[in-house]
Chain A
Amino acid sequence: MKVLVAVKRVIDYNVKIRVKADNTGVETANVKMSMNPFDEIAVEEAIRMKEKGAATEVIAFSAGPAQCQETIRTALAMGADRGILVQADGELQPLAVAKLLKAVVEKEQPGLVIVGKQAIDDDSNQTGQMLAALLGWSQGTFANKINVADGSVEVKREVDGGLENIKIKMPAVITTDLRLNEPRYASLPNIMKAKKKPIETLAPDALGVDVAPRLKTLKVEEPPKRKAGIKVKTVAELVDKLKNEAGVI
């Protein structure tokens, strides 16, 4: 069984972002970029499947500008076998990415697609569900644990009140939660080896997908700032403030 993982290049999670002065978006020039943390977990899970013999090949997919090659290389260094880059400049929204993924899935015929549950830049939490819908496949979202067994996948999901167990038919789309696994670091020899692994570059047109954004972003602004607070010295002072100044207890 082939496993396809989708990885996104995003601003590194440690970076304090800056909104552009003209309110058209967030400053991305000269900002550290890395693989979306949820996608690292997706790559790790796919590689573990290969190590256990449940998967035969792991393909890393990314869509976006040419620099997404680096993100794919990271996945290859972690252990993925080859990469597919759909090169497109400009904003790609979840529905467009899901359609690109669908086209690649139809070409590659994987048994499982694993994606992160959300990208930490747009915070949409949509692509995996949309891909499952477009393919007519089952979905195991917010996966905490997965177990591939004979034509189906047992998925433990993180839901509001705790955990939920479901069994979904393969082929399927899985989206990863943070606690699914702990991603490995790519070692230097593996980073060197990854440079020799193939990355195929495709264009949205060749896949027959219109990637024009469907949601129009009118403006991006800074959130309202909280007023600076005060430091209190004692518990008694804190309780007094909460009671008499803030009126919350």
Chain B
Amino acid sequence: MAILVVAAHDGKTVRANVANAVTAAGQMGSDVTVLVAGSGADEAAKSAAAIQGVAKVLQADDAAYANWLAEDIAPLVVKLAPNYSHVVMAADSVGKNIAPRVAALLDVAQVSEAIQVVSPDTFVRPIYAGNAMATVQTADKVKVVTIRPTNFKAAAAGGSAAIEKIGGEGAKGLSSYVGAELSKSERPELTSAKIVVSGGRGLQSGENFKMLETLADKLGAGLGASRAAVDAGYVPNDYQVGQTGKVVAPDLYIAIGISGAIQHLAGMKDSKTIVAINKDEEAPIFQVADYGLVGDLFQIVPELTAAVEKK
């Protein structure tokens, strides 16, 4: 069965989670094709071809695809879809935007955020903020699936797939891209970081988040936040970990001043080791933490930063 993976990219390289999607796709069938749509995306296509397990890369060059507008990308995917048994995307903000549009145009159901491939037509996905796991089966001819990247290992580099150039479908004129306001950070990207340091309302201000930045930098960690910290304006919203933000599964997740609401746990409870630092002994976060430290974070965090430095 041939699988089509639709790859988001920045023009130069495909997103890191495409390698995770290729692994998931490999579990659904054997012949994995990656679609790289863009405007002059030669470099991105090459980076897709270098992922192991990719049999072929389709490079669709069209100015219409420059900014990943769903109205323009979906018709291209829909045109290619009948040649494949599955259309797979990573469940990031690009995949979530485009995949359901593709599915509806094909008149098929979509499987959202699969965390396990049971068989080519059967998938496990979390529901109710990760508090239940549903096993679902689809009988549709083309199966449109988004996968949760943190649940599939990234395919290694070292592949050498052939790149085939294909034409585009042009712009539909329904929408246009105006610009972006991206938050800049030197730190590792949140969803792929090995260690994540996360702060909540307990930090009390955006100024105090600097303390976590220092700790994160010492650990080479990504920086995350709870919804409370984002809503209070301490950090930008793309830091948010949770049901409605990003899902992370690092080796080590350090939750500082975070109570551990259901919404937040949905985004981090698959982390290998969880550390909770909180002054409230009864905080629900301690129920999932491997190591808990009850105390004042303003005292503990600098101490921890110093201790990590010594190691």
Rounded to whole angstroms, the CA-CA distance of A137 and B292 in the bound complex is 50
Does B208 sit within 8 A of A, measured CB to CB? no
- A123 adjacent to B243 (CB under 8 Å): yes
Given contacts A95-B109, A215-B136, contact A162 B292 (CB under 8 A): no
- A219 adjacent to B135 (CB under 8 Å): yes
- A167 adjacent to B238 (CB under 8 Å): no
Does A178 sit within 8 A of B, measured CB to CB? yes
CB interface residues, A 50-101, toward B, < 8 Å = 93-95, 98
- A239 adjacent to B100 (CB under 8 Å): no
Q: Can you name the residue of chain B whose Cβ is closest to the Cβ of A248?
A: B252
Q: Can you name the residue of chain B whose Cβ is closest to the Cβ of A134?
A: B104
- A133 adjacent to B104 (CB under 8 Å): yes
Rounded to whole angstroms, the CA-CA distance of A77 and B134 in the bound complex is 35
| Number of A-B residue pairs having CB atoms within 8 Å of each other in the complex | 251
- B175 adjacent to A13 (CB under 8 Å): no
Least CB distance, A187 to chain B, in whole angstroms: 24
Does A235 sit within 8 A of B, measured CB to CB? yes
- B304 adjacent to A238 (CB under 8 Å): yes
Least CB distance, B45 to chain A, in whole angstroms: 21
Q: Can you name the residue of chain B whose Cβ is closest to the Cβ of A175?
A: B97
Least CB distance, A64 to chain B, in whole angstroms: 16
CB interface residues, A 26-53, toward B, < 8 Å = 26
Of the listed stretches B23-31, B46-54, B80-88, B122-130, chain A binds: B122-130
Rounded to whole angstroms, the CA-CA distance of A140 and B100 in the bound complex is 13
Rounded to whole angstroms, the CA-CA distance of A115 and B269 in the bound complex is 28
Least CB distance, A103 to chain B, in whole angstroms: 14
- B304 adjacent to A232 (CB under 8 Å): no
- A163 adjacent to B195 (CB under 8 Å): no
Rounded to whole angstroms, the CA-CA distance of A117 and B255 in the bound complex is 27
Type the 1/0 row for B82-96, where 1 means its CB is closer than 8 Å to any CB of A. Answer: 000000000011101
Of the listed stretches B36-44, B58-66, B69-77, B154-162, chain A binds: B69-77
Rounded to whole angstroms, the CA-CA distance of A201 and B201 in the bound complex is 44
Does A125 sit within 8 A of B, measured CB to CB? yes
- A165 adjacent to B129 (CB under 8 Å): no
What are the 10 closest A-B residue pairs judged by CB atoms, nearest first?
Answer: A129-B100, A133-B104, A130-B104, A214-B109, A126-B100, A138-B174, A165-B178, A162-B182, A229-B290, A248-B252
The contact sample of 10 A-B pairs, CB cut-off 8 A, is A133-B100, A138-B174, A141-B97, A165-B181, A216-B136, A218-B137, A220-B135, A223-B130, A227-B290, A241-B291
Q: Which residues of B contact A (CB under 8 A)?
A: 69-71, 74, 92-94, 96-105, 107-113, 122, 125-140, 173-183, 195, 219, 227, 230-231, 236-238, 243-244, 246, 251-252, 262-263, 269, 272-275, 286-294, 300, 303-304, 307-308, 311
